[in-house]
Structure 1
Amino acid sequence: MSVQNQTLTLLIVTSETSEAERLIGTLREDGLAATSVTIPQADRLQDVITQRSCDMILCCGYDRDVDLDHVFAAYRKLDADVPFIVIGEADRHAGDLIKARRGGARDLIGRNDNEHLKLAVSREFTDLLKRREARALNERLRLCEQRDRELIDVTSAGVAFVQDGLHIDANQAYLDLFGYADLDELQATPFLDLFMPEQQKQIRDLLRGGDASSLGEPLELTVACRRADVSQFKARLLAAPSEVDHEPCLRLILNAIDAPAGTANTGATQPAATSETGLASLLTEIDAHIDSERIVERPFAIFYLRVKSSARLLRDLGLIHGLEKLKEFAEILTSSVAGRGFLARVNDDGFGLIVDGLSEFEAKAFAERLIATARLTGQAAARDGEEPDCEIGYYLVRDRAAAAEDILDAAYRLCIGHDFAAQGQTSGQSPSSLAAGAHQEGEEGEADIVRKIEYALQNDQFKLVYQPIISLMGDNQENYSALVRLFDEHETLYEAKDFIDPAIRAGLIEQIDKWAIRAAIQVIGEQRRAGHNISLFVNLSEDTFRNPNIILWICDCLREFDVRGNWLTFQFQEELVVGNLASIGKLVETLKKIKCRVAVNRFGSIERPELLLQGLKLDYVLLQSSFAQELADDPAKQQQLIALATLAREFNVKSIVTGVEDARALTVLWTAGVDYVQGNFLQRPSPTLEVQT
């Protein structure tokens, strides 16, 4: 954009208003549109430039009331890029020129040399605009690099940067792919050692620049790789020139090649295959059914089958004969599957099986057939009344899926949690999530509330209300739980309990969560700029946290409203965490990288809550509201609450008791060492962020 199309704001240092008007008029004659601010001295130079957004300073050095040395001193203290031009008497030009240069002036112009003035102002303003553009581009580059780093950290592909045959940097997925504990261990290993010998010449040529330097676009190779434990895998390698800290290097993106779907894994059919390899192959096959947003592209049934009493079998037959029996069982099981699915042996007595496209009825029938035919050698096929040799759990995977580890864990839990004394040793699908439960319990006639949800999403009819989380230990942080409310087209208010389950069944819950996240972050930004030490707690539903791209949405919102991650706490319900531990564990690690805090809601309902504290890096636990009900009159409940608060403290996690409804409970909670309380007795949810007294 030309200088003539820009608005130039001049700061003129002179005590004579008429002289300032003359200078402005001279510049406007040449098409330099300009506005001006005039000050007689340089006492408030910094304040005026900041408040009036001045682009350039003209100092009338010939004005007897202007202390030029004072102006130079004030200019040197400026924390801004503002060109400085001095206008002086022509007969004193030589003496003033040295002083002007030492004072930081860009030019010294004679008092009546109008042409020089026009040229100098045009030149300096053009240079100023170019510097601003360069700074803006540098900032955009910085943000792009930051976003690139965030994408690299959360992507499931292995990404690394290599220079002179050594790793400069790599993401966690890359470390996991090759089996290295940390970046230091990887950096100590030559890059060539990650590939099989027959592949190394091709990789060496790539490193030498024979391929990379002439790349018009990234180079793709299929390579045979070698892990830290010397096991092998094939992968697609995408290589392209890049830069790290302004130094040229090679950027590598590595994706393991999935085994073809529908083939039996060698871990179940060949004695040489290890259970560790079989487990990795099974997890890879699960991921092959799911896209990058965890949407199930090919619905499937997952089965977990294990040999009953395998420990007794090894004890009675001895290790060698016992393992031989288990090997023979694996061969019989492979024959029973008969190529219908992907079978993998995940440990000595356990097998995972994936079969595409089964209905619930077909999955149950298939499991019963496996139970009947998969027998230890020397045993007849199971007949009515006879006890089978194995037990099996299965369920169907469709819609949006959890992490592969969570999917396998769910089938495993269904297997070991079944009452095996019952006839027919199969355990079918049970709701392992709130989403599954909500889908099963869908009510007829809820189309109207779904229509209201859609209307609210389209017309921004959702609102946040806030309930304070009050410290019992003197914390000055202003913590609030952010709760979503819906207003329909008639301004009728609906609480979350009225629309959350229909939203889950209609597949709209993730959109509501995204609205709530962005709205909460916007409120935090506004309140922080107003001087309030506020922090908000926001719930994440199962559909939302299963989407790996949600972290990018959060990062974009934090950047948009200039909000720090540690001002925001994300909550997960305990019953969801148990069934999605791997999915949530990965998300928690990523949230921690952007400094967000993490909490588990409805804590204390599972038998061993310490397992969650061991498995996740939590900041808070919110105890289920039933603990606060009639607490003062229930000694057993008091002891249970004290135990949970003490357990949280042992893991350096803050405890919050919700649902507080009476004053007597506060005394018990304070004595128990609870950190925070929340409830209608203290304050009902409110549309304003003020603690009512």
Structure 2
Amino acid sequence: MDLLGYDDLDEMICIPVLDTLTPESQEKYKEFMKEFAHKGEDGMTLNCTARRSDDQELDVTMSVSAATFDGETCTQIVLQPEHSDAELEEKLQEISSQDLLTGLYNRQHMMGLLGKAIAEAGKSNQTGALAYIALDNFLSMKTRVGISGADILLGDLASLLREKAGENMTLARLSDDAFCMMCLPCDEKSMEQQCETIRKAVEDHLFDINGHTVPLTVSIGIAAITENSPKAEDMMGRAHTASAEVKKQEGTAQGNGVLVYNPADYETLDQSNSAEAIQRALDENRFRLLFQPVINLRGEDEEHYEAFVRMLDKDDKEISPYDFLPPVGPSETTIKIDRWVILQTIKQLASHRSRGHNTKMFLNLTAETLQDKTFTPWLSVALKAARLPGDSLIFQIREGDASNHMKQAKEFTKALHELHCKISISQFGCALNPFNTLKHIDADYVKIDGSFTEEIQKNDDAKQQVKEMVKSLQSSGKLTIIPLVENASVLATLWQAGVNYIQGYYLQAPVPEMNYDFSEN
């Protein structure tokens, strides 16, 4: 308000952005916003001249970024007096490091700080600790309170974390349902005590959402930072693993606990979670493909499968190799797994189609492959070698990955469409504003998150939410899929909701062969 000379916030809110600029800058602003709408690059800047309420002119720098307000997509515009390039760069860096909803550090910045902390621990022989704070049953809660209600709760939780965390703690929001906390120097025991204080504070706190009290608990995993710590991605993976293990402990099946990661429980007794072990499994041909049918609920004669990968451990038990990689890497290993799955699937699918089947395959991609610029040229060669048409493959990207890497996902999906491949967004509905992803990503299919399958069997609100979601998706030309169909009782609800495809163990579990009899449907 002071910058533009207004005393009343309500008065300033009613003034269009254009009217705060000089006539010459108004045209520059229009072109600038068109460019931002086309590129979608957060942090784009424009030097222009603002007109204050007293008609004085002021040279300013305008920066724009995508944001949400009350659950709706909007554009955040920041006006600042023109600074030197160094000052401006510093300010933009500060903005780019923040999570817009909570004001805490975002995931990307936190990973950089974690890497520096690990290096400092090794250099000065210090110890520290990292805590992964996962919200229990977040999606179920969001279904009850709505997107705007979830925004309010996350903001309140961030304030509570700031209040309870010590001054030496660094806080960040990692994703929709996860925060983290780091300190250096400190010891593991102190962090455990601090996390127990936070756990109890969250459990006891009365989160008021639109007049309703919403209970919330958290599961916290702790990993020690020492001179022998692995790189940042693996460290975050350790804390994430401990957080997930809380629900496997006696008395905390629903979460609401604190657990310290003990490397001996994982690396010594079971070394299958290392990148080296996964590479050995690849070299020794201990990977297996499984296929699960995706059935057209509207009775159309189609054959679709989704491919899954399993790794045989040292006891010949099947496990998912992705489960043993940390949430953010290592990227080289993840990309190798993705390519192995895709190449082997292409070979088997080409053979299956040569026997008269017009089969199409859903293939899951990780965030690492999404950012790999060499992937689409490699895929083009693989398709030509197998003489397989591109439209027989449907590449599936998680909603969270697409949201976190929007620019790369937009370019990536465009390149895949040029190869005539199709695109599916999976785990849809988990983001705070899920439909915003579809404004940027040209998806052909949308797989709604499996948690909704469970929720629609429990309450009518979830049924109505899924019905409205399906209707909105189909009105924009998307084909909808509901996974995790485990019994017949849910089929009538899905049919009435207008769902296009279903998938789950009720139809068939993932198996090594593409042998489902689609004619039975």
Q: TM-score, normalised by structure 2?
A: 0.55
Which of 390, 394, 399 is 1:565 aligned to? 390
Which of 436, 449, 454 is 2:279 aligned to? 454
Q: Which residue of 1 aligns with 2:92?
A: 352
Q: Does 1:441 align with 2:237?
A: yes
Q: For 1:428 and 1:391, how far apart are their aligned partners in 2?
A: 6
2:292 partner amino acid: Q
Q: For 2:295 and 2:56, how far apart are their aligned partners in 1?
A: 60
SS at match of 1:441: helix
Change (3 A) 1:436 1:320: farther
Q: Which residue of 2 aligns with 1:691?
A: 516
Q: For 1:305 and 1:524, how far apart are their aligned partners in 2?
A: 44
Q: Which residue of 2 aligns with 1:554?
A: 379
Instruction: Give how far 1:633 is off.
Output: 3.9
Root-mean-square deviation over aligned CA pairs: 4.5
Q: Does 1:535 align with 2:365?
A: no
Counterparts of 1:200-215 in structure 2, within 5 Å, are: none
Q: For 1:653 and 1:391, how far apart are their aligned partners in 2?
A: 35
Change (3 A) 1:324 1:655: closer
Residues 233 and 326 of structure 2 are in contact (CA less than 8 Å); yes or no, is this contact kept in structure 1?
A: no
Q: Does 1:618 align with 2:455?
A: no
Q: For 1:538 and 1:454, how far apart are their aligned partners in 2?
A: 21
Residues 628 and 661 of structure 1 are in contact (CA less than 8 Å); yes or no, is this contact kept in structure 2?
A: no
Instruction: Give how far 1:489 is off.
Output: 4.8
Instruction: Give how far 1:305 is off.
Output: 11
Residues 480 and 501 of structure 2 are in contact (CA less than 8 Å); yes or no, is this contact kept in structure 1?
A: yes
2:236 partner amino acid: Q
Instruction: Give how far 1:677 is off.
Output: 0.3
Q: Which residue of 2 aligns with 1:431?
A: 174
Change (3 A) 1:512 1:690: same
Residues 485 and 495 of structure 1 are in contact (CA less than 8 Å); yes or no, is this contact kept in structure 2?
A: yes
Q: Which residue of 2 aligns with 1:596?
A: 421
1:431 partner amino acid: L
1:352 partner amino acid: L
Q: Does 1:674 align with 2:499?
A: yes
Instruction: Give how far 1:587 is off.
Output: 0.7
- Which digits, 9 at most, give the CA deviation of each residue in 1:328-382, with x for residues without a partner? 8332x64657xxxxx39xxxxxx63499xxxxxxx99xx9xxxxxxxxxxxxxxx
Q: Which residue of 2 aligns with 1:330?
A: 82
Q: For 1:328 and 1:477, how far apart are their aligned partners in 2?
A: 57
2:396 partner amino acid: Q
Residues 654 and 675 of structure 1 are in contact (CA less than 8 Å); yes or no, is this contact kept in structure 2?
A: yes
Instruction: Give how far 1:556 is off.
Output: 1.4
Q: For 2:94 and 2:289, how far apart are their aligned partners in 1?
A: 43
Q: Which residue of 2 aligns with 1:473?
A: 298
Q: For 1:553 and 1:506, how far apart are their aligned partners in 2?
A: 17
Change (3 A) 1:610 1:279: closer
Change (3 A) 1:628 1:437: farther
Q: Which residue of 2 aligns with 1:395?
A: 109
Instruction: Give how far 1:606 is off.
Output: 2.2
Q: Does 1:636 align with 2:388?
A: no
Q: For 1:576 and 1:318, how far apart are their aligned partners in 2?
A: 46
Instruction: Give how far 1:661 is off.
Output: 1.2
Instruction: Give how far 1:653 is off.
Output: 0.8
- Who wins on radius of gyration, i.e. which is larger? 1
Change (3 A) 1:391 1:684: closer
Instruction: Give how far 1:437 is off.
Output: 7.5
Instruction: Give how far 1:613 is off.
Output: 2.3
Instruction: Give how far 1:323 is off.
Output: 4.6
Change (3 A) 1:623 1:436: farther
Q: Which residue of 1 aligns with 2:399?
A: 574
Q: Does 1:661 align with 2:486?
A: yes
Which of 54, 57, 67 is 1:320 aligned to? 57
Instruction: Give how far 1:605 is off.
Output: 1.5
Identity of aligned residues (%): 23
Q: For 1:317 and 1:428, how far apart are their aligned partners in 2?
A: 42
Counterparts of 1:273-292 in structure 2, within 5 Å, are: none
SS at match of 1:467: strand
Residues 59 and 81 of structure 2 are in contact (CA less than 8 Å); yes or no, is this contact kept in structure 1?
A: no
Residues 610 and 647 of structure 1 are in contact (CA less than 8 Å); yes or no, is this contact kept in structure 2?
A: no
- Which digits, 9 at most, give the CA deviation of each residue in 1:414-469, with x for residues without a partner? xxx98899899xx9754369998875132535441124312111122111101110
Larger displacement relative to structure 2 (503-512 or 629-638): 503-512
Q: Which residue of 2 aligns with 1:514?
A: 339
Which stretches of structure 1, 4 residues or longer, exceed 6 Å deviation after superposition? 274-280, 303-306, 324-328, 390-394, 396-399, 417-424, 433-438
SS at match of 1:607: coil
SS at match of 2:360: strand
Q: For 1:461 and 1:335, how far apart are their aligned partners in 2?
A: 53
- Which digits, 9 at most, give the CA deviation of each residue in 1:152-199, with x for residues without a partner? xxxxxxxxxxxxxxxxxxxxxxxxxxxxxxxxxxxxxxxxxxxxxxxx
Q: For 1:324 and 1:591, how far apart are their aligned partners in 2?
A: 37
Give the number of aligned pairs: 335
Q: For 1:277 and 1:329, how far apart are their aligned partners in 2?
A: 18
Larger displacement relative to structure 2 (476-485 or 486-495): 486-495
Q: Which residue of 2 aligns with 1:38?
A: none
Change (3 A) 1:323 1:334: closer
Change (3 A) 1:664 1:648: same
Residues 431 and 437 of structure 1 are in contact (CA less than 8 Å); yes or no, is this contact kept in structure 2?
A: no
Q: TM-score, normalised by structure 1?
A: 0.42
Q: For 1:324 and 1:671, how far apart are their aligned partners in 2?
A: 52
